Structure 1
Amino acid sequence: MLFRADRDVPGLIVKFGNYPLHHGGVGAIRSLGRLGVPMYAITEDRWTPAAHSRYLRRAFAWPTTGAEEPAALVDGLLGIGRRIGRPAVLIPTDEEAAVLIAEHQKELAELFLFPSVAPELPRRLASKQGLHELCVEHGVPSPAAAFPETYADVEDFARHARFPVVAKNREAFVRRRSPAVPGTTRVEDRAHLLALARGWGDRPGVILQEYLPREQAEDWIVHAYFDENSSPLALFTGVKVRSWPPHAGMTANAYVVDNPELAALAEQFVKRIGFTGIVDLDLRFDRRDGRYKLLDFNPRMGAQFRLFESEAGIDVVRAQHLHLTGRRVPEGEQRAGHRYVVENIDLPALLAYRRSGYTTPHAPERPAGTEYAWVAGDDLRPFFTMMARFVGPGAQHLYRLWRSSRRAVTK
């Protein structure tokens, strides 16, 4: 290693909602824990994979839904901070946590370290409508979109739309209520759209978006950490090979691929909006017009962040901890050609992609190395805990996601 982390400043994984099989949190615990940083985590219970990492000092079992009042969540965080007993770097793993931290910086600053960002910005970025408006404002390509306010608006859209289209939930915080659609839903024709819209109520909480056909597109990802001047201290690009549910879910398999054009696009956009902190971006390259179109801007650590590490040993979580503790973040090129695999979802994703006949054009044939989400020779217990929870309820949940995505496409 070309650097030393401040071992007097702990890290705290902050997550709200019930998703115990979260490999990103485990990755962050390992990443900083291997540097000797004391690690703490909020977990659903004491039997999550994160709670069993050898690098975790303590798990704070705090089951939440994301629907709690912000004041209650802030009070709970402050209580955990007091139990830790010294300022800790906050590492949110979901939009609810990232938005809460941004909107309550004054209350949390006494006990925690985190990037200072415009309080309203993370919520706007996490919203599909807010992100689309920012893209339009700053000239960043994104899929054409409509935001119907009534069923009549949907009917009007259906008369003029070019199908298929994509329907998504407009806001990020779908765990707080019943979502209008099950994730990303492909809508085949006018009749299908109107049938779906009848179940959306008087005020549809959806975005209707241009469909970018996968046969003419490539899925790319950008992970980065930006300082207080919105300058990147670590910036990485890669290509998504498979996701689960297929073509519309979380990353199951990805590669590091150097892409200077994409890196410049991401850096310019973040500079224009003035964001500070870790970002996880999803973009789709549309070969029909040669443009990268921004689909998602996650103002937080992405679950697959451990795909990316520089030759100096820096990932985005390490970059944040070093920067917030006043240490230099060493420069270094990304490890091009490295692969990331999420074991429990990549096999079903592989089978589904083979059935569809689709492959990612930019996926290297032979990886330079592989980072597994769960298996680690120096920290095996999270893998076995994941397997114990995955068999049964976890596998059934993945199956329901796959079935809902298939029904959405085939209706």
Structure 2
Amino acid sequence: MADFLPVLLGSDANVYGMARSFYMEYGVTSLAIGKGRLAPTANSKLVQMAVVEPGLENDEVFRRTLTGFAAAHPGKTLVLVSCGDNYTGLMARSRAALEPFYKFACPTPELVEQLDTKEFFYHACRAHGLSYPQTFGCTNQNYKTVELPFAFPCIIKPSNSVAYWNCRFPHKKKVFVAYSKEEFNAITAAIYSSSYQDNLVLQEYIPGDDNCMRVLNCYSGLDHKVKLMALGRPLLEEQTPEGIGNYAAILSIKDEELMQRMKAFLEDVGWEGFSNFDMKYDARDGQYKLFEMNPRQGRSSFFVTASGYNLAKWLVEDVVEHKPQGLTIADAEHLWMIAPAGILRRYLKDEALLAEAKRLMRQGKVSHQLFCKEDAGLKRRVWYIKNQLNNFRKYKRYFGNKGLVD
């Protein structure tokens, strides 16, 4: 049994994935602190919601909550892990207050602000020779008159993901696609009718299905050197308005050249802790086009642990045990899913990829994000079955819909 206690910030599927990682490696139940309770972490033996504080996104409340939690657990080594962009920013700004009580890896507030905001991230990509889609922007002042420098369709997404997460308006989606000027006008007007008033990122559409996407998860140590890199090829994305851009199934793959370029980027900027990149392969020029960098492990990052590279192990060996670590590039075959296999069979159109997924299923090289046999109490099993069946309804209703309609 581990002599430390994992403290996870959040309550979503990412938190559950990290809790599974800690449980698999160290046999320990994690405690979570978040601003609310979400279903993926309910009725679990692997993680328990220790504190629910609706005002947690306020810096002063965050510091008071975290230091109070530490005071209530004296004598324990507390390992703190952010599972959301907002929590990473809070940790970064509160480093001095947290360091006496917690072990953690976290970038500076300046780096979080720079790289978690999309237009600044693209500036960094340009400076480091990394490709990204043709990108433009608009503000709440000029969105009605802006002229795009590329043809439709146009991707529309928020520059500030934290502010956008907290806004509300009818037919809200995580990402929109406008196929005409009329759609563009309607979508931008709807967004700016809400509390979201920051810039919007307007981007050319990169052709290709969901399986042209790539997702990269990395861990950079306290010495700012990259220790672990794992690349995945999404087979399908989720289709609900709030889930667009999240992955439903991922194949673990390897691309040495891409990983070396991303390693150089992370070390050049001096990153510390987990990072997650979303990108898409552009067949027109053979380049990977970067979409965003998240200052944390990805929501689907359990695919890394499931393929044999436990995320918790890399963190603990660095921040608690201070073991020397070289660079590990994941290369094991594995299939990760958060949706049921029937969704893959019905909606994955690439026959070769579907055959590869079926082969890995037959070989037992498959994991489900939200199902763990060690955590299969009655309430959780009932919820999991309903969750999986609900995917069929969601895909039927939303598949391919990224416009301002339900």
Report TM bin, short chain: 0.7 to 0.9
Indicate whether 1:364 and 2:356 are aligned: yes
Counterpart contact for 1:43–1:51, Cα < 8 Å: no
Indicate whether 1:209 and 2:209 are aligned: no
Structure 2: which 5+ residue stretches go unaligned?
none
- Supply the distance in 2 between the matched residues of 1:226 and 1:104 (Cα, whole angstroms): 20
What residue is the counterpart of 2:286 in the other structure?
Answer: 290
Counterpart contact for 1:148–1:207, Cα < 8 Å: yes
What residue is the counterpart of 2:233 in the other structure?
Answer: 239
How many residues are aligned here? 392
Indicate whether 1:23 and 2:18 are aligned: no
Per-residue Cα deviation, 1:340-362 (whole angstroms, up to 9, x for no partner): 01146x655764x35xx467869
Counterpart contact for 1:220–1:240, Cα < 8 Å: yes
What residue is the counterpart of 2:146 in the other structure?
Answer: 156
Counterpart contact for 2:160–2:198, Cα < 8 Å: no
Q: Normalised by the size of structure 2, how large is the TM-score?
A: 0.84
Q: Secondary structure at the match of 2:259?
A: helix
- Supply the distance in 2 between the matched residues of 1:210 and 1:42 (Cα, whole angstroms): 38
Structure 1: which 5+ residue stretches go unaligned?
1-5
What residue is the counterpart of 1:196 in the other structure?
Answer: 187
Q: Tell me: CA distance 1:153–1:39, structure 2 relative to 1, closer, same or farther (3 Å).
A: closer
Once the two structures are TM-superposed, the CA of residue 41 in structure 1 deviates from its matched residue by 1.5
Which structure 2 residues correspond to residues 1-400 of structure 1 after superposition, within 5 A? 7-15=2-10, 22-34=12-24, 35-37=26-28, 39-42=30-33, 48-56=39-47, 58-64=48-54, 68-85=57-74, 86-158=76-148, 160-173=149-162, 174-178=164-168, 182-201=173-192, 205-215=199-209, 218-245=212-239, 248-309=244-305, 313-325=308-320, 326-329=322-325, 334-343=330-339, 347-348=342-343, 351=346, 353-354=347-348, 357=349, 364-365=356-357, 366-367=359-360, 369-381=365-377, 384-385=379-380, 387-388=382-383, 391=386, 395=390, 399=394
Q: Secondary structure at the match of 1:152?
A: coil
Counterpart contact for 1:102–1:119, Cα < 8 Å: yes
Once the two structures are TM-superposed, the CA of residue 406 in structure 1 deviates from its matched residue by 1.7
- Supply the distance in 2 between the matched residues of 1:298 and 1:214 (Cα, whole angstroms): 23
Q: Secondary structure at the match of 1:13?
A: strand
Q: Tell me: CA distance 1:153–1:25, structure 2 relative to 1, closer, same or farther (3 Å).
A: closer
Q: CA RMSD in A?
A: 3.5
Percent of pairs identical after alignment?
Answer: 17
- Supply the distance in 1 between the matched residues of 2:124 and 2:355 (Cα, whole angstroms): 30
Counterpart contact for 1:223–1:316, Cα < 8 Å: no
Q: Normalised by the size of structure 1, how large is the TM-score?
A: 0.83
- Supply the distance in 1 between the matched residues of 2:221 and 2:330 (Cα, whole angstroms): 19
Counterpart contact for 1:241–1:359, Cα < 8 Å: no
Counterpart contact for 2:154–2:177, Cα < 8 Å: yes
Q: Secondary structure at the match of 2:373?
A: coil
